[in-house]
Amino acid sequence: MYLYGASGHSKVIIDILKEHYIKVKAVLDDAPKGDSIYDVPVMQASQKNLVPSDTLIVSIGNNAVRKKIAEQLSVQFYTAIHPSAVVSSKTIIGKGTVVMPNAVINAFSEIGNHCIVNSGAIVEHDCVLENYVHVSPGAALAGAVQVGEGSQIGIGACVIQGVTIGKWVTVGAGAVIIDNVPDYAVVVGNPGKIVKYNEPS
C-alpha cells in the first residue's frame, strides 16, 4: 500500500489503514517537506516507479489536485473505511474513496471514486455523490441529495432532502442549503446564497 500526498489528510488515512492492519510502505509526494509521517517513509514521487499491481490511495484533500493525480496514475486504488463508520450494506462506494471515523452512509446511497466522507459526516439514504466530492466533518446531507463532481460541502453544512448541488461547487462552513445549486457556485449562509462562482478549469 502506498499513499500519494504527504499532508494532514494522509495522517488520518494511515490511522484508518492501521485499524485494518494494513501497512503503508511509503507516502509519495511531489515536494516532500519531511522524511516520515507516523514512522512511514516519505519519498519523492518521481523516485518510485509505480506499476499497475501497486495499491494506492491519493491522500490529498484538495479535490481538483486529487483528480489530477488520480488521472495520472495507473494503479489499483484502495477504498478505506474506518471501523467506526456506519455504512449500509446497500451502499455503493467507489475506488479510492475514504470514509472517516464516525461517518454515516445510509441505504441506497452511491459514493463515487476518490471521494472523502469526513469525520462525523452524514450521507442519508438515496444520495448520489459523484467523483472527487468532499463532505467535510460534521456536514449532513438529507435523503436523495445529489452532489456533482468535485464539489466541497463545508464543515457543519446541512443540505435538505432532494436538493441537487452542481459540479465543483463550494458550500461554506455551516451553510444551510434549501435550493438547488448551479455548477461552480460558492454558497454561504443560512439560507445559502450564492456569493460568487469558481473559475472552471
CATH number for the domain including 9?
3.40.50.20
CATH number for the domain including 153?
2.160.10.10
Contact assessment for residue 96 and residue 77, using Cβ atoms and an 8 Å cutoff? yes
Active-site residue flag, 114: no
Of the residues 48, 77, 106, which one is the last residue of a structural domain?
77
Dump pLDDT digits (tens) for 119-176. Answer: 999 999 999 999 999 999 999 999 999 999 999 999 999 999 999 999 999 999 999 9
Contact assessment for residue 181 and residue 169, using Cβ atoms and an 8 Å cutoff? yes
Q: Which of 82, 114, 125, 134 is catalytic?
A: 125
Nine-digit cell at 38?
507516523
Do residues 176 and 86 share a domain? yes
Question: Which pLDDT score is estimated for 50?
Answer: 92
Its domain, for residue 68, covers 2-77
Structural domain includes residue 194 = no
Question: Which pLDDT score is estimated for 46?
Answer: 87
Query: Which residues are CB-contacts of 191 (< 8 A; sequence separation ≥ 6)?
Result: 176, 177, 178, 179
Structural domain includes residue 114 = yes
Dump pLDDT digits (tens) for 85-118. Answer: 999 999 999 999 999 999 999 999 999 999 999 9
Phi and psi at residue 34, in whole multiples of 5°? -160, 175
Q: Is-above-0.85 flag for pTM? A: yes
Number of structural domains in the chain? 2
Question: Which pLDDT score is estimated for 94?
Answer: 97
**CA neighbor of 118 nearest in space, from 4, 2, 16:** 16
Structural domain includes residue 193 = no
